[in-house]
């Protein structure tokens, strides 16, 4: 097998969950909700999919359950942020901890063992490939939805100037709520990709920080679906390169840190101008 | 802010607190326990089918055979080590096991704050009067695995897949490479590290990379990341894996040649039994091939694939290591200077 082909495939495999999570970050932040709970949404999506596939024997139902569970976690963040005015960073951090603890607890309830689940019926190679293609389709759809529909206009306006949205007779808090649910569903799908697409099990900590790398991809991709997808692909390529070239002189720790350095570069303007949505992370109160 | 707004953060904090309590694990206390033992897992946690589970197996054996009262606290991150250790030290345990070298600094501190308590740490040497340090000669078991892999490999390319690139894992790596070159100097040994003990997906992806680079046997010493590599070999013909720490042979019968056992359970049980027998605690215990602290499984599913000749050869190498004729290297520097020994 050719090395180039391996590298391309590995890049796509590594990038797919990052794309889903990064798109989730984009839709939330464009609506004005800073979603640092991506890691938790990946976790809950991954776990729920495996648990439901185990219970029903049907991985497709597992996939749907993972998406719904992700959306519910998104809703939790949305409600905390828009209805109760909780600081979004605090809420997101709480949800990440809750998700990790909840999945660990769920493992003992559903599988009767801590740490890792049993192997369940999964989506297999066609499912994995389908989900990789799906990530790009999702990016395209989100782009069209954000820039070509009234919903997209309202969503972007809620992230830039929620008062203007209010004066048009729409409650920006509801717009944000819908965005967090959609984001949660996307991140949940990213989790499903990991647990039922690539693998056939859930294991504690298996998301391994992908939610945070996706956050970096959102910034580096300048809060646009295509930008974030490109950044996620770039980070995927870095990870793939690191795997193939390991121990050829470049310290692997440095390669692993590159996504964060890239995000930092984007934020500090080294890699061009990056501006977050004006009302990103700012609670809307009347 | 409206009054309604105040409940939000509070309700949220309660939710989170519930989430956090999920991290603790618990033993049930029995009134008539002979000795009381506790352990703190490393971040891999219970269910890693490997290192932490092995320690837990030793604890459970102490419970059934010695009537010990046992308790386990799981660490979700390195930040949990100290609170977990302190929480246990405040209770009256005869021995508290810190499972994993990463806890060395936290344990040293907790132990000096609790001079009356007694502690044991696995995989690290902490020089303190109330700590027993337990280490293993992983390089010896890995050496045997390397020799076995070199003999079984058809492509004459074998691979080591580690969790984190740290001195402890390099003992596995160096021993494995040396063992392979002991029986066949022309075997190529590829080496990769996942960078995590928990990233199952990356473990699987790296296994794919190693296979496409020509390896047909992977020695996976990567905690839960290794589960991903096991997942990968199931669907591939004529490739094999060597497991680690616990007996992983049954996870993919016939595809896992053997597992390099690191009997943390033997170590934990030995320490527990010494307490019951009122033997004075030791400062440093090292387990190797001789005391069955390290070794290979008995090839339950793979005798046919390995063949009697190789099994006999591995046994000979084992005896040579025990007799001190071969000293497997435990660092990359020692590996570079390692010369195959004529037996």
Note the pLDDT tens digit of each residue in B71-101: 999 988 889 999 999 999 999 899 999 999 9
Å from B199 to nearest chain A CA?
5
Q: Do B19 and A97 touch (CB under 8 A)?
A: yes
Compute the nearest-CA separation of A99 from chain B (Å). 8
Asked if residue A278 is part of any domain, the answer here is no
pLDDT at B32: 56
Give tens-digit pLDDT for B289-318: 998 999 999 999 999 999 999 999 999 999
**For residue B15, pLDDT beyond 50:** no
Chain-wide mean pLDDT for chain B?
89
Q: Which residues of chain A lie closer than 8 angstroms to B192, CB-CB?
A: 243, 246-247
pLDDT in tens, B213-248: 999 999 999 988 999 999 999 989 999 999 998 889
Q: Which two tokens stand for residue A29?
A: 């932040």
Examine the pLDDT at B206 and tell me if it is beyond 60. yes
pLDDT of residue A5: 86
Q: Is the pLDDT of residue B287 over 60?
A: yes
Share of chain B above pLDDT 90, in %: 77
pLDDT at residue B17 greater than cutoff 70: no
Count of structural domains, chain A? 1
* Residues in contact with A153: Cβ distance below 8 Å, sequence separation at least 6, in sequence order: none
The predicted structure's pLDDT at residue B126: 95
Instruction: Scan residues 225-264 of B and list those with Cβ closer than 8 Å to A.
Output: 227-228, 231
Q: What is the pLDDT, as a whole number, of residue A271?
A: 59
Q: What is the pLDDT of residue B28?
A: 45
Whether the Cβ atoms of residue B328 and residue B335 lie closer than 8 Å to each other: no
Mean pLDDT of B268-275: 93
Given pLDDT bands bounded at 50, 70 and 90, which one contains residue B46? confident
A279 lies in some domain: no
Question: Does B273 contact A at CB distance below 8 Å?
Answer: no
At A273 the pLDDT is 65
**What are the tokens at B88?**
């246990």
A114 and B CB contact within 8 Å: yes
A286 touches chain B (CB under 8 A): no
pLDDT for residue A122 is more than 90 = yes
For residue A36, being part of any structural domain is answered with yes
Q: Does pLDDT of B27 surpass 90?
A: no
Write down the pLDDT at residue A249.
66
The verdict on residue A277 lying in a domain is no
- Is the CB of A84 less than 8 angstroms away from the CB of B9? yes
A49 touches chain B (CB under 8 A): no
The answer, yes or no, to whether residue B108 has pLDDT greater than 90, is yes
Residue A276 covered by a domain: no
Name the residue with higher pLDDT: A278 or A40: A40
Average pLDDT over residues B47-56: 82
Q: How do residues A38-63 score in pLDDT, each as one tens digit?
A: 999 999 999 999 999 999 999 999 99
Q: What's the rounded mean pLDDT across residues B260-283?
A: 91
Q: Give pLDDT, residue B23.
A: 41
Report the CATH number at residue A35: 1.10.3470
Structural domain for A103, as ranges: 3-268
Q: Does A124 touch chain B (CB under 8 A)?
A: no
pLDDT at B191 over 90: yes
Instruction: List the single best residue of B5, B14, B19 to mutate versus A (max A Cβ within 10 A).
Output: B19
Q: Does domain B138-261+307-336 have CATH number 3.40.50.2300?
A: yes
pLDDT > 50? residue B148: yes
Identify from B1, B5, B12 which residue to disrupt to test chain A contact, counting A C-beta atoms within 10 A and taking the largest count. Answer: B12
Q: Decide if pLDDT at B21 tops 80.
A: no
Q: Which of B198, B218, B246, B253 to mutate to test the interface with A (most CBs of A within 10 A)?
A: B198
- Give B5's pLDDT tier (boundaries 50, 70, 90): very low
> Domain B31-136+265-287 falls in which CATH fold?
Rossmann fold (3.40.50)
- Range 246-265 of A in CB contact (< 8 A) with B: 246-247, 252-253, 256
% of chain A with per-residue pLDDT over 70: 95
Q: Is the pLDDT of residue B19 over 90?
A: no
Calpha distance B318→B181 (Å, rounded): 15
Instruction: Check if B341 contacts A (Cβ < 8 Å).
Output: no
Residue of B161, B199, B201 to mutate, testing the A interface (most A Cβ within 10 Å of its Cβ): B201
In a domain, A167, yes or no: yes
Closest-CA distance of chain B to residue A51, Å: 16
pLDDT at A272: 61
Is the pLDDT reported for residue B4 higher than 60?
A: no
User: Is residue A283 included in any domain, yes or no?
Assistant: no
Q: Is the pLDDT of residue A95 over 50?
A: yes
- Domain-by-domain residue ranges, chain B? 31-136+265-287, 138-261+307-336
pTM of the full structure: 0.86
Mean pLDDT of A56-80: 97
Please indicate whether, in this complex, the C-beta atoms of A91 and B46 are within 8 angstroms of each other.
no
């Amino acid at each position: 097998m050719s090395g180039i082909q391996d590298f391309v495939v590995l890049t796509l495999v590594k990038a797919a969950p990052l794309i889903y999570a990064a798109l989730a970050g984009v839709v939330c932040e464009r609506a004005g909700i800073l979603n640092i709970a991506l890691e938790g949404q990946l976790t809950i999506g991954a776990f729920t999919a495996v648990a439901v596939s185990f219970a029903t024997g049907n991985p497709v139902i597992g996939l749907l359950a993972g998406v719904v569970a992700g959306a519910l976690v998104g809703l939790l963040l949305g409600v905390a942020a828009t209805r109760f005015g909780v600081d979004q960073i605090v809420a997101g951090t709480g949800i990440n901890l809750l998700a990790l603890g909840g999945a660990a607890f769920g493992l003992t309830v559903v599988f009767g063992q801590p740490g890792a689940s049993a192997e369940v019926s999964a989506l297999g190679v066609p499912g994995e490939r389908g989900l990789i293609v799906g990530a790009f389709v999702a990016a395209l759809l989100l782009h069209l939805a954000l820039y070509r529909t009234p919903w997209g206009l309202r969503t972007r306006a809620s992230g830039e100037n929620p008062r203007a949205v209010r004066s048009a007779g729409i409650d920006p808090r509801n717009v944000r709520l819908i965005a967090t649910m959609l984001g949660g569903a996307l991140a949940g799908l990213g989790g499903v990709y990991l647990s039922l697409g690539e693998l056939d099990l859930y294991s504690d900590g298996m998301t391994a920080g992908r939610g945070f790398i996706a956050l970096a991809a959102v910034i580096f991709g300048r809060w646009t679906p295509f930008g974030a997808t490109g950044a996620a692909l770039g980070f995927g390529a870095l990870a793939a390169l690191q795997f193939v070239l390991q121990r050829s002189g470049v310290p692997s720790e440095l390669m692993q840190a590159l996504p964060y350095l890239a995000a930092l570069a984007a934020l500090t303007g080294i890699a061009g101008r990056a501006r977050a949505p004006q009302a990103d992370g700012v609670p809307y109160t009347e | 802010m409206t009054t309604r707004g105040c409940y939000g953060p509070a309700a949220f904090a309660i939710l989170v607190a519930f989430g956090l309590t999920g991290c603790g694990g618990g033993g049930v206390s029995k009134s008539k326990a002979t000795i009381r033992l506790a352990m703190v897992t490393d971040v891999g946690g219970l269910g890693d089918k490997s290192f932490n589970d092995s320690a837990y197996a030793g604890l459970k054996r102490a419970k059934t055979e010695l009537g010990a009262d046992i308790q386990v606290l799981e660490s979700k991150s390195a930040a949990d080590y100290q609170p977990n250790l302190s929480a246990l030290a405040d209770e009256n345990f005869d021995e508290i096991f810190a499972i994993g070298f990463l806890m060395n600094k936290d344990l040293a501190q907790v132990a000096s704050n609790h001079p009356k308590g007694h502690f044991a740490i696995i995989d690290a040497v902490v020089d303190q009067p109330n700590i027993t340090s337990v280490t293993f000669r992983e390089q010896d078991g890995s050496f045997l695995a390397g020799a076995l892999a070199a003999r079984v490999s058809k492509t004459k390319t074998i691979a080591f897949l580690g969790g984190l690139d740290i001195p402890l894992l390099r003992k596995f790596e160096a021993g494995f490479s040396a063992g392979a070159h002991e029986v066949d100097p022309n075997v190529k040994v590829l080496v990769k590290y996942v960078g995590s003990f928990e990233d199952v997906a990356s473990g699987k992806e790296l296994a794919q990379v190693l296979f496409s680079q020509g390896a047909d046997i992977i020695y996976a010493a990567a905690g839960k990341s290794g589960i991903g590599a096991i997942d990968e070999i199931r669907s591939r013909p004529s490739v094999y894996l060597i497991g680690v720490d616990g007996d992983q042979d049954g996870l993919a019968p016939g595809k896992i040649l053997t597992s390099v056992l690191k009997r943390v359970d033997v170590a934990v049980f030995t320490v527990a039994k010494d307490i019951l027998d009122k033997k004075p605690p030791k400062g440093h215990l090292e387990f190797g091939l001789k005391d069955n602290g390290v070794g290979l499984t008995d090839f339950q599913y793979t005798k046919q694939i390995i063949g009697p000749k190789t099994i006999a050869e591995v046994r000979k190498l084992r005896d040579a290591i025990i007799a001190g004729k071969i000293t497997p290297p435990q660092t990359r520097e020692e590996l570079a200077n390692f010369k195959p020994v004529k037996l």
